[in-house]
Amino acid sequence: MQKNPATSLKNGTDRINRKVPIKVAVLALPEVLALDFGIPIQVLGRNTPGLYEVETCSAGGLPVPAAGGFSVVPDRGLDLLAEADTVIVPGYTTAREPLPDEVLLSLTAAHGRGARLVSICTGAFALAQAGILDGLSATTHWESTADLAVLYPRISVDENVLFADNGQVLTSAGVAAGIDLCLHLVRSDWGAAQGNLTARSIVSAPRREGTQSQFIEHRPLYGNSNQPTDVAAAMEWATAHMHQPITIADICAATALSERTLARRFETHAGTTPMKWLALQRVERAKELLETTSAPIERIATSVGLGTGANFRHTFKKSTSLTPSQYRHAFNANQDVQSPR
């Protein structure tokens, strides 16, 4: 199940207009996974200054043993969950064990008052214990999806996605997918331009779709300048020429790959088809231009290869549930905007 984009963008509009940072609570549970714990602190806390207020917490505000033989010292106790706009539960190695009632009650109370609940990796088991994932689509690390499905049969467990967004409740696979999910939060809350800026600041690929498979043969999407992968070369060429009416045959000719090979390798690397990937890049580029420039709708439509203004409006609204004008009103907070070249 996916969220309603219009709802998320409306919330983003309210926050931008009021310049209110989003309060985030990161809950440390016993044997917390250090990388998972650090992801929201790094991505939302350190690399989006002024947009989020990130604090950590634990039961009783006590130090929590981390997997690896050290402890983390939280900022607060569980009372922080009563104040947070977003509660993030990182993975922990004791996920199959029962949690204290005070933890479960604090999670359900936060969910009940409308806070956004997010899990990284096996943090999904905590949300499952609290009943928050009942009736929803959810994921966790691929090694734990079977256990999650068996222990909590009311959850629709999807092992073939990086993250699942149900609007108020979001879950992700392990480590790297936690980064993808946090970047997804930034884009949902503050727009595509801010999401891409944050991705650059942490030296991450700007966007991997939640529907991309967890378990693929080769993770990197982008090779390097000296020896790029064939998929990276196809992506680079298609992006550079997105203003043109590109066909699959054009991409194949530019990369010296057969149509069948290109399709197979795109599915392996990007989890989708070349043309679906390109369509997404066009919409994402349009979002950035709407956020950061005052260019007319028709010019943006041409620059991203979406044809006429009418076709652009149709495609954009189908993707985001908003018209380009509504999206611009929501996220174009820059007063000194420039037109794209």
Q: Decide if 206 is inside a domain.
A: no
* Encoded amino acid at 291, one letter: E
Residue 216 lies inside a defined structural domain of this protein: no
Is residue 214 domain-resident?
Answer: no
Structural domain range at position 257:
223-333
Instruction: Classify residue 209: in a domain, yes or no.
Output: no
Top-confidence range, 56-60, 146-150, 256-260, 283-287: 56-60
Question: If you average pLDDT over residues 48-53, what whole number do you get?
Answer: 93
In a domain, 240, yes or no: yes
Residue 152: alpha-carbon gap to chain centroid: 24
> Tell me, what's the pLDDT at 209?
55
Residue 29 predicted with pLDDT over 90: yes
Q: Give the number of residues written for the chain.
A: 341
Residues 162 and 34 in one domain: yes
Confidence of residue 60 (pLDDT cuts 50, 70, 90): very high
**CA 297 – CA 87 distance, rounded (Å):** 37
- Report the alpha-carbon distance of residue 145 to residue 322 in Å, rounded: 34
Query: pLDDT digits over 96-124, tens only?
Result: 999 999 999 999 999 999 999 999 999 99
Q: Is 138 helix (H, G, I), strand (E, B) or coil?
A: strand
The domain that holds 286 is classified in CATH as 1.10.10.60
One domain for residues 32 and 148: yes
Looking at 201, 232, 265, the residue that finishes a domain is: 201
- Pairing of β 86-89 and β 70-72: unpaired
Residue 313 lies in a domain: yes
Rounded Cα distance, 76 and 54, in Å: 11
In this structure, are 245 and 181 located in the same domain?
A: no
Containing H/E element for 70? strand 70-72
Q: How many domains does the chain have?
A: 2
Q: Which of 59-73, 193-207, 300-314, 323-337 has the lowest mean pLDDT?
A: 323-337
233 and 171 assigned to the same domain: no
256 and 123 in a single domain? The answer is no
- Model confidence over 146-173: pLDDT tens digits? 899 999 999 999 988 889 999 999 999 9
CATH number reported for the structural domain that contains residue 178 in this entry:
3.40.50.880
Mean pLDDT across the stretch 307-331?
A: 86
Residues 165 and 231 in one domain: no
Q: Are 180 and 309 within one domain?
A: no
pLDDT single digits (tens) 199-255: 888 877 655 555 454 443 333 333 333 334 678 888 889 988 998 999 999 999 988
In this predicted structure, the answer to whether residue 294 has a pLDDT above a threshold of 80 is yes
Residue found by looking up tokens 């041409």 in the block: 302
Q: Are residues 109 and 26 in the same domain?
A: yes
Same structural domain, 77 and 129: yes
261 plus 312 within the same structural domain: yes
Considering the domain boundaries, does residue 210 fall inside one? Answer: no
CA distance 252 to 140: 35
User: Are 63 and 193 in a shared domain?
Assistant: yes
Position 11 scores a pLDDT of: 54
Alpha carbon separation from 79 to 32, 66, 73, 332 (Å, rounded): 19, 21, 16, 35
The pLDDT of residue 322 = 86
Highest averaged pLDDT of the listed ranges 22-26, 254-258, 261-265: 22-26
pLDDT at residue number 135: 96
Nearest partner of 103 among 119, 118, 89, judged by Cα: 89
Kindly report the pTM of this predicted structure: 0.69
Same domain, 135 and 248: no
